[in-house]
Structure 1
Amino acid sequence: MTTKSANARQTRQQLIDVGADLLCRRGYTGFSYQDLARELGISKPSVHHHFAQKADLGLALCDWTEQWLRDGFAHFDQHGHNAPDKLQRYLRAAAKHTFNEHKQCPLSALHSDLAQLPDAMRTRLSDLSRLEVDWVAAVFSQGLADGELQAPATASAQELAQLFIFACKGALYYARLLGREHFEQSMSLLLQQWLPDAQAAQSFTTL
């Protein structure tokens, strides 16, 4: 690989990394190519050289988001002791991202700008959303099978995963204004409904 092509690949990756940070901080419609150029100290035409249209960058950000999700889920799987612990690690990571780093999860950021996304990005966003639901559903499925979690017999693992994710992200949305403690209280109450009675009184009191 020539030095020129190596530099081009490096600049492209830097644009994706900076774009991902701006996506999480401002949303997809909240930053421009001029912002990217300013952050990297390059010209705006240089940004267009790598991503002719913002939709092209948007698809690259979807790829970045997929890897971000897969890395996070792999970490939870590796370090989580059981299903309840994996769910709590997910919530702790979401709280850190929101309240400590003052960012949105990239999925939430893209969902917030759904009306402005081109069709190709909407399709990718649907795939990414299913990836997240499928991982949480797998955690619920294993937890129910092992007796670590409890739920009504009529509720599927997929439905429980959707409830968990929707409640988490809705709570994060409101708690950004009302305070972290509202997120912790809501999630603790929700998770306790899924714990066996003997554990519910002593687990998930704080995140």
Structure 2
Amino acid sequence: MSNREKLLNIAEDKVRQGGYSNFSFREIATEIGIKSASVHYHFPTKADLGAAVAHQYTEAFMKALGDISDIMEKGDNPIDVYTNIFRNALLEDNKMCLCGLLGAQNESLPEKVQVEVQRFFNKNLTWLTAAHRALGSENPTQAAITTVSLLEGAMMISKALNDHSYFKLVTSDI
């Protein structure tokens, strides 16, 4: 794994644990065993690193979702696939959705990071709308917004109350 990849992974982990302000270049450099200047070589500013982290997260998330028609051909429900990504993040990794967490901090984020967070939600809403349409939903756009809002909110409440049973309760019927 390259230093760039290590930097992105460590930064993602720190953001998912405590938000955008939860990391510094010096901290990340120390964790990898490089100088802070080496972090700046790969990412000139914290905004560049934050945007790259959000971009990488979005790409990995969308790849994990896969193609809706492939999911349905297997006899699976695409909304279940979507829900399981959130479920695994919270229940197995005890982490929030990176872009959900950043979205809550939107006003304080650099513009580059805001753009990547918006990209995450736009891609998710597009995918969910197509999934709900494929499932015959009367209003697939509304269903998509409801799905992502429900999951992000359930995640936030479960983390805030330090009790994942809230997430399990909300998602038991999805």
Scaled by the length of structure 2, the TM-score of the pair is 0.87
Counterpart of 2:39 in 1: which secondary structure?
helix
1:109 Cα deviation (Å)?
A: 2.3
Q: Deviations over 1:155-192 (max 9, x none)?
A: x2111100111011111111222522222222234x3x
- For residue 198 of structure 1, what is the aligned residue in structure 2? none
Aligned: 1:179 with 2:171: no
1:82 Cα deviation (Å)?
A: 4.4
2: CA distance, partners of 1:68 / 1:78:
18
- For residue 170 of structure 1, what is the aligned residue in structure 2? 153
Aligned: 1:92 with 2:76: no
Task: Give the conservation status (yes or no) of the 8 Å contact 2:97–2:152.
Answer: no
Sort the Cα spacing of 1:178 and 1:33 in 2 relative to 1 into closer, same or farther, 3 A. Answer: closer
Displaced runs of 4 or more, over 6 A: none
- For residue 203 of structure 1, what is the aligned residue in structure 2? none
2: CA distance, partners of 1:72 / 1:158:
21
Identity of matched residues, %: 21
Residue ranges of structure 2 left out of the alignment (5+ in a row): none
Scaled by the length of structure 1, the TM-score of the pair is 0.74
Aligned: 1:131 with 2:115: no
Q: Which one of the candidate residues 5, 15, 23 is aligned to 2:15?
A: 23
Sort the Cα spacing of 1:178 and 1:66 in 2 relative to 1 into closer, same or farther, 3 A. Answer: closer
Sort the Cα spacing of 1:70 and 1:115 in 2 relative to 1 into closer, same or farther, 3 A. Answer: same
Q: Which one of the candidate residues 57, 66, 79 is aligned to 1:65?
A: 57
2: CA distance, partners of 1:107 / 1:48:
23
1:97 Cα deviation (Å)?
A: 0.7
- For residue 39 of structure 2, what is the aligned residue in structure 1? 47
2: CA distance, partners of 1:55 / 1:178:
30
Counterpart of 1:64 in 2: which secondary structure?
helix
Sort the Cα spacing of 1:49 and 1:96 in 2 relative to 1 into closer, same or farther, 3 A. Answer: same
Aligned amino acid, residue 145 of structure 2? Q
2: CA distance, partners of 1:79 / 1:106:
24
Q: Which one of the candidate residues 3, 23, 36 is aligned to 1:11?
A: 3
Task: Give the conservation status (yes or no) of the 8 Å contact 1:66–1:128.
Answer: yes
Aligned: 1:157 with 2:157: no
2: CA distance, partners of 1:82 / 1:29:
42
Task: Give the conservation status (yes or no) of the 8 Å contact 1:175–1:183.
Answer: yes
Alignment of 1:110-125 (within 5 A): 110-125=102-117
Aligned amino acid, residue 169 of structure 1? E
Range with greater deviation from structure 2 (177-186 or 131-140): 177-186
Max radius of gyration: which structure? 1
Aligned amino acid, residue 90 of structure 1? Y
1:95 Cα deviation (Å)?
A: 1.6
Sort the Cα spacing of 1:106 and 1:78 in 2 relative to 1 into closer, same or farther, 3 A. Answer: farther
Counterpart of 1:107 in 2: which secondary structure?
helix
Q: How many residues matched?
A: 172
